[in-house]
Structure 1
Amino acid sequence: MDNAPDAQPPRGDSSAQLTSIPIEITVSVGRARPLVRDLLRLDEGSVLTLDKRVDDPVELYVGDRLIGIGALEVIEGDENGQLAVRMTEVVDSQSAS
């Protein structure tokens, strides 16, 4: 099969092709609103306080669209702990617009 950039993609079920496209989900854990002078003082080891607590819900976005709400978790078994999000609410895209 020719993998040239202008080669036509194979014909087939377009919905199957769409579901195999990777997307990036951004998890928002909180926001900080420091003064510029405080921002300029940040250095390695500095702590930037967010407007949320560790147990507060987090928001999941695809691009700038909110797609869900979740809770942060640590997956057991990884020596350093793997961070994950448990979905607690899927935002209805029809009512979110």
Structure 2
Amino acid sequence: MSDEKDQDQSPEEELDPQKLADEVAGGIEEASGEESAAEGEEDDQALADEWAAAMEEAGETDDEEPEPEPDPVKQVELDELQDEGRPGGNGDNPELEVILDIPVRISMEVGATKIPIRNLLQLNQGSVVELDRLAGEPLDVLVNGTLIAHGEVVMVNDKFGIRLTDVVSQSERIHRLR
């Protein structure tokens, strides 16, 4: 059959790839014919039977809906929370208990001055730096750089200490922060 078609075509005629593909596909269908259609139906039926058997083993059939599996999460009822007071509970300021153990840096400032770098580089042992405070004036007590009090120097067991003479009020401390 194909030999006749090849002889009919002249070398000048071009081959149509689509037409050639259709002819090949038609030849395959003719060769397999009705046998393949019957085998296809048998294969489909065998596959459906296998699925039906598997569904029966799993306990499911087409007639009934599959039962949902029980939820492994259990609901638990919890008691209502009660306010039993705050830590410390000494009544004055319970919010303060939360921060009482936080470390802070406390420092005493004798005085301060501004000098140019040229003069700073010329300092050596025995140099005197003039401060902005008079002798006998109280020192500043700073906590994390914030002024909280004034005091005077004292000696305690051969160590320096400071006696607070004036504590800055809370409102004044807040005002200085701004």
Shorter-chain TM-score bucket reads 0.5 to 0.7
What do residues 31-60 of structure 1 show as CA deviations (whole Å, max 9, x unaligned)? Answer: 122233221101233222222234211111
How many equivalent residue pairs?
Answer: 82
Q: 1:39 aligns with which of 120, 126, 146?
A: 120
Cross-structure match for 1:59: 140
Richer in strand (by share): 1
Corresponding residue of 2:150 = 69
Q: Percent of aligned positions with the same letter in both sequences?
A: 29
User: Counterpart of 1:50 in structure 2: which amino acid?
Assistant: L
Shift of the alpha carbon at 1:17? 4.7
Structure having the higher Rg: 2
Judge conservation of contact 1:26–1:60 (CA < 8 Å) in 2. yes
Structure 1: how far apart are the matches of 2:160 and 2:167?
A: 20
Question: What TM-score do you get using the length of structure 1 for normalisation?
Answer: 0.68
Q: RMSD across aligned C-alpha pairs, in angstroms?
A: 2.1
Any conservation in 1 of the 2:104–2:144 contact (CA below 8 Å)?
A: no
Q: Name the aligned partner's letter for residue 61 of structure 1.
A: L
Is 2:103 the partner of 1:22? yes
Structure-2 residue corresponding to 1:91: 168
Residues 63-84 of structure 1: per-residue CA shift (max 9 Å, x gap): 2321111111121x32xxx111
Q: Structure 2 stretches of 5 or more lacking a match?
A: 1-85, 88-94
Q: Which has the higher contact order (CA 8 A, sep 6+)?
A: 1
> 1:55–1:72: 8 Å Cα contact kept in structure 2?
no
Q: TM-score, normalized by length of structure 2? A: 0.40
Instruction: List structure 1 runs of 4+ shifted beyond 6 angstroms.
Output: none
Find the residue that maps to 1:26 and give its secondary structure.
strand
Match of 2:56 in 1: none
